[in-house]
Chains A and B, each alone.
Chain A
Amino acid sequence: SQKIEQNSEALNIQEGKTATLTCNYTNYSPAYLQWYRQDPGRGPVFLLLIRENEKEKRKERLKVTFDTTLKQSLFHITASQPADSATYLCAPHTGRRALTFGSGTRLQVQP
């Protein structure tokens, strides 16, 4: 069955460092993959979308890579700030209009 895995352990880093979050998927080949941010008690907010023919995509301090061979996407936040602290969800496209999310990784940026 299709599976999406994100590191369930919280990631704690110092302000100014680069945060790297991982999303692995198995048993399907998504045409694209999305990353969302979710704050406690709030709905997810769209951040970035990367297509299967794109190796890398950037938006301000965010960078996403998509390795279809490894079946993995990496999400980077450079020069991290305490305001970046949140849970980050990946959603590889499964062929449905509705999104299927990974379990999310909580990022905590220490000042």
Chain B
Amino acid sequence: GAVVSQHPSRVICKSGTSVKIECRSLDFQATTMFWYRQFPKQSLMLMATSNEGSKATYEQGVEKDKFLINHASLTLSTLTVTSAHPEDSSFYICSASLTGGSGNEQFFGPGTRLTVL
């Protein structure tokens, strides 16, 4: 089946630093990937849609200058949390859908736990 990986799985950083999270589709090409954020005991909330070769589309309330998304190839999207603060601590999950697949089935990465001290 389609596999999506994320790196790192866990990161702890100091307030004010930037953190980059990678999302890779390992055995398929994804023109579109999605970035979600999940706070404890809450559901996944869409942050942005990452489009290969073009600018990402951000959801309302998500700062595009703070959460930089780069989709440089058909298998890689990166999310950079710039000037991270403790309130950015969360579980970040990416997903990708198979091009041409039916029903919009999505494959999720294992997630990245970000802790900002």
Give the chain B neighbours of A98 by CB distance below 8 A.
Answer: 34, 46, 49
Q: Are B46 and A44 in contact (CB under 8 A)?
A: no
Q: Are B105 and A97 in contact (CB under 8 A)?
A: no
> A41-B91, A41-B113 given as contacts; is B43 within 8 A of A99 (CB)?
no
Interface string of A21-51 (1 = CB under 8 A from B): 0000000000010101000011111100101
A103 within 8 A of B: yes
Question: Which 10 pairs between the two chains have the least Cβ-Cβ distance?
Answer: A43-B108, A103-B43, A101-B43, A49-B103, A43-B111, A43-B93, A98-B34, A98-B46, A44-B108, A101-B44
B65-115 contacts to A, CB under 8 A, are 91, 93, 95, 97, 103-111, 113
B60 within 8 A of A: no
Give the chain A neighbours of B110 by CB distance below 8 A.
Answer: 42-43
Give the chain B neighbours of A97 by CB distance below 8 A.
Answer: 32, 34, 49, 97, 104
Interface string of A76-104 (1 = CB under 8 A from B): 00000000000001000100011111111
Taken together as a complex, chains A and B put the C-alpha atoms of A93 and B105 apart, in Å, by 10
Interface residues of chain A: helix, strand, loop or mixed (majority)? loop
- Assign chain A's interface to a size class: 20 to 34
Taken together as a complex, chains A and B put the C-alpha atoms of A31 and B6 apart, in Å, by 30
Q: Which of B43, B91, B108 contacts A102 (CB 8 A)?
A: B43
Among A36, A44, A51, max chain B CB count under 10 A is at A44
Give the chain A neighbours of B54 by CB distance below 8 A.
Answer: none
Given A34-B104, A102-B43, 17 more A-B residue pairs with CB atoms under 8 Å apart are: A32-B103, A36-B108, A41-B91, A42-B110, A42-B111, A43-B4, A43-B108, A44-B93, A49-B103, A49-B105, A51-B103, A89-B43, A99-B34, A99-B104, A99-B106, A100-B46, A101-B44
Give the chain B neighbours of A102 by CB distance below 8 A.
Answer: 43
Q: Are A104 and B105 in contact (CB under 8 A)?
A: no
Taken together as a complex, chains A and B put the C-alpha atoms of A104 and B40 apart, in Å, by 12
Q: Are A43 and B43 in contact (CB under 8 A)?
A: no
Taken together as a complex, chains A and B put the C-alpha atoms of A41 and B32 apart, in Å, by 24
Q: Are A46 and B106 in contact (CB under 8 A)?
A: yes
